[in-house]
Amino acid sequence: MKSIEHTRAFDMDRPAAELFALFSPEGETRWVPGWNYENLMETTVLCEDYVFLTRTQDHGSGETIWVVKRYDPAAYRVEFYRIEPNQKVGTVKVRCTALDSERTRVEVTYKYQALSRAGEAFISGFSATAYDGFIDEWQTLLTNYFDSTC
């Protein structure tokens, strides 16, 4: 298998703008334990073509190059390219949809394309069940973050 795509959504009792702000390299430092990124830009303000690096996050086997593909804060949407040289290329899409003034649906899509046998091995193990567990952890971490800031 050379490519795979999974989407999962969950609801949170928080306004969309508040949640959306957390889906950036800087925002993730607030709620993802161990999230660390190397900022290659002269700002932490997210925009299209913003580039940063990670070394161990999100299914990474080493250094990952991230590039903001689309950034639409008015619609609470962001998309990233994530490139792991000699392994795989992926896209990550996050969309926050206000259900009402205090509730938001967060929809997350990961799509990967293998670049090598190692990438194919990752994809073959990246099941819907594994993805569901991964996104369930996002919801748990976000809930814990908001519980700790109140």
Output the average pLDDT for the chain.
94
How far, CA to CA in Å, does 7 sit from each of 15, 43, 145?
21, 30, 23
2-16 per-position pLDDT tens digit: 999 999 999 999 999
Write the single-letter amino acid at 19.
Answer: L
Confidence category of residue 150, pLDDT binned at 50, 70, 90: low
Percent of the chain residues topping a pLDDT of 70: 95
Judged against a pLDDT cut of 90, whether residue 56 lies above it is answered with no
Q: What is the pLDDT of residue 57?
A: 64
| Residue corresponding to tokens 């925009």 | 47
For residue range 66-89, what is the model confidence (pLDDT) as tens digits?
Answer: 999 999 999 999 999 999 999 999
Contact (Cβ atoms closer than 8 angstroms) between residue 123 and residue 31: no
Alpha helices, DSSP H, located in 30-127 = 117-125
d(CA 9, CA 135): 8
- pTM equals 0.93
Mean pLDDT of all residues in 21-29: 96
The Cα-based distances of 51 to 30, 45, 68, 82, 148 in angstroms read 19, 11, 7, 10, 30
The pLDDT value recorded for residue 138 is 96
Domains and CATH numbers, the chain: 3-144 (3.30.530.20)
Q: Which comes out higher in pLDDT, residue 130 or 149?
A: 130
